[in-house]
A and B are shown apart, each in its own frame.
Chain A
Amino acid sequence: MAPLVYALTALLGAAAVVIGLSGMLGAPWTVHVAWLVPLGGLSLQMDALAGLFVALVGAATIPTSLYAIGYTAGERRGCVAYGVFVAAMLVVPLAGNVMTFALAWELMSLASYVLVLDGARAGRESGASAHAAWVYALMTHAGLACLLAGMLLLTAWTGSARFADWALAAPALDAGARSLAWVLLALGFAAKAGGVPLHVWLPLAHPAAPSHVSALMSGVMIKLGVYGLLRASFVWLAPALPWWGALLLLIGALSAVIGVLYAIVDRDLKRLLAFSSIENVGIVLVGVGGAVTFAATTLPDLALLALAAALAHVVNHAAFKSLLFMAAGGVQHGAGTRDMEALGGLVKRQPWTAACFLVGAVAIAGLPPLNGFVSEWLTFQALLQNVRLPQPALNLVFALAIAGLALAAGLAVACFVKAFGITFLALPRSAAAAAAHEVPVTMRAAMTATALACAALALGAPWLVPALVRVGATLVPAAPPVTLDTWLTLDVSADFARLSMPAVALALAAGVLLPLALLVVVRARPRARRYETWSCGRLLQTARMEYTAIAFADPFTRVFDFFYRPARRLDVDRHPESRFFVRRIRYENPTRFIVDEWLYRPLNRLLRATTRRAAIVQSGSPNLYLAYVLAALLALLLLV
């Protein structure tokens, strides 16, 4: 029964792609069913942006559902929740009023909560799974509370719960009111997207969930937070204010750097990918922040460029992150663990999974000729034009964002060298890795399809980017800043920059083949002789000689130790008879999470202290409770 549900979900995804694309390219439509949902009725509204996100969710669902068929291997648990999850995610972009949105949003969160709990329990980490699901539920509902607060405020001020009416009434509200609503909505959406400091649930929930769910959560669910931010900043509360954009820029740059810094020192493959999602959300938020700032300072063509860059990264990240999570799930399936310290040598045991992970790694590191490069390049081009902004304070924010983005890009390369190199290359570090098996054909097909999609998105940039510009133009009307020129070149901002991905890909292919061809022609290719690795003549070369994941991250741990603040502990257990004989040494140097320590732990303490004080009210004595009732009655009679 489970494969049937997954297949149906894949078909739903395909239908969603068709509907979404037609919405993107065609005319907008609305559907209103008054009785289906209380307090306002079901209201669906399709326009270009909604169409893009519906198509994105659908396109990500197809390979993931196919993958799930092989990954769950007939296990019934979780398949219905999965279907509900996908359906809810498809309704969120289409929602046209508050109730529909809130219902779909909550259904999406609930379904994913169930899936996180299930997945972690299946992975036999029940203590950690409860904690992960708990933090996830907490953060999601805190975000929902902010969202509802903002939306209800807007409903009260504009007098209508329909989003279309907000777009018309927003300019009439004063800037302070709009800012308040924006802050509440941004908090809620940023919590879903995983922007620092609201990211704490991501590295717990995404690894705990089963891999197909993680792929969807990282690939498309967090993008719905970005969707919400776009709607709030450009449609519901337009015109935007410059400091909204600056705030988003700073959060984006911070998320990008912090996310990748935590990813580099992690030894759990899926948690590394989760932190990397935070990094990529940071990149998207930098694009969105830039767009909002430019729009607020009447530079609509630059705003459109930044928006197109953010949307391009949303699409690209969905593609390569789902590929990476699927491959990581393949590793877990084949080797039984996702701890990189116990993996290695999988490129020989799982060649297909390794090749797919490599494609994903090259893409996410932003290297040509794959799709990550295109969206990072576009984001840079949008940011680099900030000189047209007259305010030096904003220029400074942009410069910081550029530096942060460049640092994150470099660190991402390092992170994925580690992820691929330690997991797949050299010798296996444990018996489980040495006995790993390749994944079933459905999983392989799904991963290959996604890898091909990454390549297609890269080579198809000459058509994809202008299409995204057209989608963005519905939010920020302006002349298109990106046009398609000769030789399939994208011309950005009238010759500020140009890029032809097909030309770059062709040049790289030619460059790689040229030395090979030359060597073949001059017949300088004697057959290689196989021997052992050079180890300075040492007689025993085992997996213990290899670099470990933690060792690989050591330079970063040292350079950024002001950020990681490792809590070093060294316990030396000596023999009772003589202090010169050491029985055991225990060395720990875990990184501490700055946001947890500086923000959440004090908040937690404050909350506990406050509730302890407030608990005095519940004394347990019925006489006191009767007195409360009397006092409340008197107060009501007096005041009302």
Chain B
Amino acid sequence: MLGQLRIALRAGIVTEPPARETDIEQLGTRLAAEIRARFGRSLAIRQVDAGSCNGCELEIGGLTGPHYDIERFGLHFVASPRHADCLLVTGPVTRNMAAALRHTWEATPDPKLVIAAGDCAGDGGIFRGSYAVVGGVCEVVPVDALIPGCPPSPAALLAGLLDALGRPR
């Protein structure tokens, strides 16, 4: 226990500043100013895996680590969609997960955002056209922004999230 503490304290703060560039696609002009005003300083994110290969999840997992640390911007992950302001959806939305994704979206209180992460979430990615896949998150719930990549790196995810909120880096 003390050994771990010693290692952590010796390493110091390793958080990196966020990237300058971003590939985020803003879909729709849904109340952009209002979103910035409400969620600019505090956003609760609920991550939904709609049939993804887990590549995006691994990258999203890196966001809470010391290097990318989304908490410093007031963003944090929550367990229940009732607590969430933003759904971060990955995966091509398999047919089995379509209804579940819809339920999750309905369970989230308004006003809410949906950010699709990864190429699969955009239009099905490499699974596009498969019989098991609905084909992109926008087919099931209205999407506000898409962060492309297969998978998008944590830096890209972070920059994309900040951009969606209109936060200056």
Residues of chain A at the chain B interface (Cβ within 8 Å): 529, 531-532, 534, 536-539
Q: Determine whether the beta carbon of B107 is less than 8 Å from that of A539.
A: no
Query: Are B99 and A534 touching (Cβ within 8 A)?
Result: no
**Chain A hits for B23, CB < 8 A:** none
Report chain A residues within 8 Å CB of B60.
none
- Given A529-B110, A531-B106: A539 touches B81 (CB 8 Å cut-off): no
Among B100, B103, B109, residue most surrounded by chain A Cβ atoms (within 10 Å): B103
In this assembly, does B101 line the interface, its C-beta being within 8 Å of a C-beta of chain A? Answer: yes
Contact A534 B82 (CB under 8 A): yes
Residues of B within 8 A of A534 (CB): 80-82, 107
Is B100 in contact with A539, judged by CB distance below 8 angstroms? Answer: yes
B100 touches A529 (CB 8 A): no
Asked, given contacts A537-B100, A537-B104, A539-B99, whether A529 binds B109 with beta carbons under 8 Å apart, the answer is yes
Q: List 12 A-B contacts (CB under 8 A).
A: A529-B109, A529-B110, A531-B106, A531-B107, A534-B81, A537-B97, A537-B99, A537-B100, A537-B104, A538-B100, A539-B99, A539-B103
Return chain A residues, CB-CB under 8 Å to B100: 536-539
Specify which chain A residues have a CB less than 8 angstroms from the CB of B82 in the assembled complex. Answer: 534
Residues in B neighbouring A529, C-beta threshold 8 A: 109-110
Q: How far is the CB of B105 from chain A (nearest CB, A)?
A: 10
A532 partner residues in chain B, CB cutoff 8 A: 103, 107
Q: Write out, one digit per residue, whether chain B residues 79-110 have a CB within 8 A of any chain A CB (1) or not (0).
A: 01110000000000000010111011011011
Within the complex, what minimum Cβ distance (angstroms) separates A302 from chain B? 48
What chain B residues lie within 8 Å of A539 (beta carbons)?
99-100, 103
Complex Cα distance A534/B107, Å? 7
Please indicate the chain B residues that have their CB under 8 angstroms from the CB of A536 in the complex.
Answer: 100
Give chain B nearest CB distance to A395 CB in angstroms.
39
Count chain A CB atoms within 10 A of each CB in B100, B104, B107, B110 and give the residue with the most.
B107
A537 touches B109 (CB 8 A): no
Query: Which of A529, A534, A538 is packed against the most chain B CB atoms within 10 Å?
Result: A534
Q: Which residue of B lies closest to A539 (CB)?
A: B99
| Residue of A with least CB distance to B81 | A534
Q: Bound state CA distance, A529 and B106, in angstroms?
A: 10
Chain B, residue nearest A541 (CB): B103
- Asked whether B110 lies within 8 Å of A537 as measured between CB atoms, the reply is no
Shortest Cβ distance from A537 into B: residue: B100
A534 CA to B104 CA, complexed, in Å: 8
A505 and B56 alpha carbons, distance in the complex (Å): 54
Closest to B107 in A: A534
In the bound complex, do residue A537 and residue B101 qualify as a contact, i.e. CB atoms below 8 Å apart?
yes
- Measured in the bound complex, the distance between the Cα atoms of B81 and A245 in whole Å is 57
A207 nearest CB across to chain B (Å): 39
Closest 7 A/B residue pairs (Cβ): A537-B100, A537-B103, A534-B107, A537-B104, A531-B106, A534-B80, A534-B82
CA distance A529 to B82 in the complex (A): 12
B34 to chain A, nearest CB (A): 14
Instruction: Give B103's nearest chain A residue, CB to CB.
Output: A537
Other 19 A-B pairs with CB < 8 A, given A539-B100, A539-B103: A529-B109, A529-B110, A531-B106, A531-B107, A532-B103, A532-B107, A534-B80, A534-B81, A534-B82, A534-B107, A536-B100, A537-B97, A537-B99, A537-B100, A537-B101, A537-B103, A537-B104, A538-B100, A539-B99
Q: Which residues of A contact B99 (CB under 8 A)?
A: 537, 539
- Least CB distance from B37 to A in Å reads 15
* Cβ distance B28 to chain A, nearest Cβ, rounded Å: 22
Cα–Cα, bound, A536→B80 (Å) = 8
Minimum distance in angstroms from B96 CB to a CB of chain A: 10
A536 to B97, CA, bound (A): 11
CB proximity of A498 to chain B, nearest CB, Å: 42
Residue of A nearest to B109 (CB): A529
Query: Nearest-CB distance from B97 to chain A (Å)?
Result: 8
Q: Which residues of A contact B80 (CB under 8 A)?
A: 534
In the complex, A536→B103 CA distance in Å?
9
Interface set, chain B 101-140, CB cutoff 8 A to A: 101, 103-104, 106-107, 109-110
Shortest distance between the CB of B87 and any CB in chain A (Å): 12
CA distance A539 to B103 in the complex (A): 8
Q: B107 to chain A: which residues have CB within 8 Å?
A: 531-532, 534
Least Cβ distance of B108 to chain A in Å? 10
> How far apart sit A531 and B103, CA to CA, in the bound complex (Å)?
9
Using CB atoms, name the residue of chain A closest to B80: A534
Q: A533: nearest residue on chain B (CB-CB)?
A: B107
Chain A residues, Cβ within 8 Å of B101: 537
Cα of A534 to Cα of B100 in the assembled complex, Å: 11
The CB with the most chain B CB atoms within 10 A, among A529, A537, A538, is that of A537
A529 to chain B, nearest CB (A): 7
Q: Inside 8 A of B106's CB, which chain A residues have their CB?
A: 531
Interface membership of chain B positions 50-87, coded 1 if the CB is closer than 8 angstroms to chain A and 0 otherwise:
00000000000000000000000000000011100000
Question: What's the nearest-Cβ distance from chain B to residue A541, in Å?
Answer: 10
Q: Which residue of B lies closest to A535 (CB)?
A: B103
* Bound CA–CA A536/B107 (angstroms): 10
Closest to A526 in B: B110
Q: Closest approach, in angstroms, between the C-beta of A533 and any C-beta of chain B?
A: 9
* B80–chain A nearest beta-carbon distance, Å: 6
Q: What residues on A are CB-neighbors of B97 within 8 Å?
A: 537
